[in-house]
Amino acid sequence: MTWAHVGHARSSGNSAASGPVIARAIVRDRYEGNRAAQVMSALSGAMAVIPMLAPSAGVLIMKFFAWPAIFVALAGFGALILLALARLPESAPAPISERLTFGSVLGAFGEMLSRRAFLGYQMAGSFSFAAVFCYLSTVAYFLPDVFSIPTALFGYAFAMTVLGFMTGSLINARVVVRYGLDNTLRTGLLISLTSALAIALLSPNAAQFMPVMALLSCLFFLGVGLTSANASMGAISLFRERAGAASAVYGFTHALLASAIGALAGELYRGRLIEPALIILACAVLAISGLALTRSSQTAKET
């Protein structure tokens, strides 16, 4: 029974992983450049509401039903998505004649990650997301250990950070067309780096600065909200005729790096905030260093 549950969960995870990949590819098929980043930001802001509502919805279901009802609810949600997809037209401009093989998938990874601009956008988006995973992997520990926050209030603390990400995404949707994808990406990375540095400096005495730390956390997530859509659309737009493959490479690398950093953060946690704070700061530094690759690629193209 246990292995069956594990198998079903893995199958669900594999299926769910296709959602972000296809969504990014559809946005890229239908929109160009800054407009693509604007649409992706609006989608990201809307999707950020789901993590805020999902825990409360789960608790409500468990209050009235046994745990299998959670999976019934997920199945119902999946059925609604299928109904919506039935009315969604194909977004690719032309039929894809290339056969999908294991070799072609590996070739796409090599081709795309070897391009400096793609790697730069990948670093900016993936290390920003990895910092989020570091937070998610340790927040349930440092809230009670460092700030003495009871378990009952975890949802509110999490909602504050999600609100920061949602705000950043919606701000980006308003400003990216005016100021450009690369400029807003740079601004988001600078906001994240500055707030991560402040968190690291205050972390030895974090309990004394709890309101400030909460504000800095929201600010960090706001920066990630400004970064996320711009980094993904910047990378995928480099391969206009292969948006699906580019989205898959970006998403796989994105998730692999984030999960590795999250696992590392969990292993290094010692009941203090300093370890997660330093990992988040390191991720912010690596994320903003990706701009050097995108800039050097643009300079080479101009010359």
Does residue 91 lie within any of the structural domains? Answer: no
Does residue 203 lie within any of the structural domains? Answer: yes
> What CATH number did the domain enclosing 123 receive?
1.20.1250.20
Distance CA 119, CA 110 (A): 11
Does residue 162 lie within any of the structural domains? Answer: yes
Does residue 148 lie within any of the structural domains? Answer: yes
State whether the Cα torsion 181-165-24-249 is positive or negative. Answer: positive
pLDDT (0 to 100) of residue 278:
97
| 236 close to 24: Cβ distance less than 8 angstroms | yes
pLDDT (0 to 100) of residue 247:
81
Structural domain that includes position 37:
17-47+101-302
pLDDT (0 to 100) of residue 17:
65
pLDDT (0 to 100) of residue 49:
65
pLDDT (0 to 100) of residue 157:
79
| 228 close to 250: Cβ distance less than 8 angstroms | no
pLDDT (0 to 100) of residue 107:
77
- pTM for this predicted structure: 0.81
Distance CA 32, CA 40 (A): 11
pLDDT (0 to 100) of residue 99:
61
Distance CA 215, CA 209 (A): 10
Does residue 60 lie within any of the structural domains? Answer: no
The tally of domains found in the chain comes to: 1
pLDDT (0 to 100) of residue 36:
77
Distance CA 42, CA 66 (A): 36
Distance CA 45, CA 40 (A): 9
Pick out the chain residues at pLDDT < 50: 299-303
